Amino acid sequence: MSKYSIGIDLGGTKVLTAIVNKETGEVVSYEKKKTKKDKGTEKLIQKIINSIYIAIEQAQMSIEDISEIGIGAAGQIDRKNGIILNAPNIECENLNIKSILEKEFNKAVYVGNDVEIATIGEMYFGAGKKNKDFVCIFVGTGIGSGIVQDGRLRYGATGTAGEIGHIMVDLGGRPCGCGACGCLEAYASRLAIEKRITGALKKGRQSDIVNYLEENKPIKTSMIKKALDNNDELVIQILNEAAEYLASGLASVINFYNPEMIILGGGLMDAIDYFYEHTIRIAKIKSLPVPAQYIEFKKAQLGDFSGVVGAALLANYRNSLKN
């Protein structure tokens, strides 16, 4: 069996495909393609297939050098049958991605969700490789988490455990994409932070960030970082506010679950030390004293690659559970 496999991270804005050495976690080659929601499922499938061919070519390999394919998608997954049931950000429903890719490449295909694969990546080769009990929390467009207990992911009764983004932090507060109000991700996700900045600028607040904005383009993490480095009052205020809410969510996790460690990932956590440090400082203050003293925080270590590395190891992980 080859030590190389293909990992695919299918998110709301991009598909990232990599050839990964499963023994070392090394990304041998990768291909990133932007996805657009309005282009339809057929185009999306074609993009995924093309990205696999390109990644193989860049690695100067052939499909014969690959042991299997793993894919994680941002949505609800039927893990057993390899079907993406519902993925509103990707616009596919009941998509049997397993059978499509198996037919095309004649390799076994394993399907999981995006947070699951990123957690597996961190568990094998990232911040979680020395621990068996931890929670991985990813702050991105939304906020999701993977729960690892005794080296195994906990999925819950319906496979949806870890939806920390929908912990309620403000009763009757801001509306959330899930239909409820006051959910954590309406306050502390990257999208929520972007919305707060855009809203404040529309109301006439001054900010250094306007110097970096491009017309009709979303606010990037690098722009937030630049404004923060220039001590921009508005950006500091909005990050502080988001950190306060995120810390409340983390304190709930610490008090309820008493994990050994929390790993924090996602672009904002990765790039902005201030946001990371500020969040964990408040989380410790808000938690009960005993678990707060014990808890260890770490940043996710694989950055953008935690998902593809975990997807490439999905087969190894699932097979390890059978033993």
Per CB under 5 A, which region of 159-167, 227-235, 240-248, 308-316 contacts Zn ion?
159-167
Closest CA to 257 of 113, 118, 134, 145: 134
* Number of other residues whose CB lies within 10 A of the CB of residue 164: 25
Q: Distance between terminal CA atoms of the chain?
A: 18
Q: Which amino acid is at 5?
A: S
Least distance from Zn ion to the Cβ atom of residue 36, Å: 24
Size of the site for Zn ion (CB under 5 A): 5
Per CB under 5 A, which region of 143-151, 158-166, 229-237, 302-310 contacts Zn ion?
158-166
- With respect to Zn ion, which residue has the nearer C-beta, 177 or 303? 177
Q: Is 156 exposed, middle or buried (0-12, 13-18, 19+ CB in 10 A)?
A: exposed
- With respect to Zn ion, which residue has the nearer C-beta, 135 or 183? 183
- With respect to Zn ion, which residue has the nearer C-beta, 166 or 284? 166
Figure out which of the listed residues 176, 193, 246, 309 binds Zn ion, where binding follows CB under 5 A. 176
- The order of strands in the sheet holding 83-87 is 76-78, 83-87, 92-95
Figure out which of the listed residues 167, 183, 300, 313 binds Zn ion, where binding follows CB under 5 A. 183
- With respect to Zn ion, which residue has the nearer C-beta, 92 or 183? 183
Q: What are phi and psi of 47, to 5 degrees?
A: -65, -40
Q: Residue 269 and residue 129: Cα distance in Å, rounded?
A: 19
- With respect to Zn ion, which residue has the nearer C-beta, 69 or 176? 176
Figure out which of the listed residues 178, 285, 288, 290 binds Zn ion, where binding follows CB under 5 A. 178
Least distance from Zn ion to the Cβ atom of residue 158, Å: 16
- Position 191 contacts Zn ion (CB under 5 A): no
Closest CA to 248 of 173, 321, 317: 173
Residues that bind Zn ion (CB under 5 A): 166, 176, 178, 180, 183
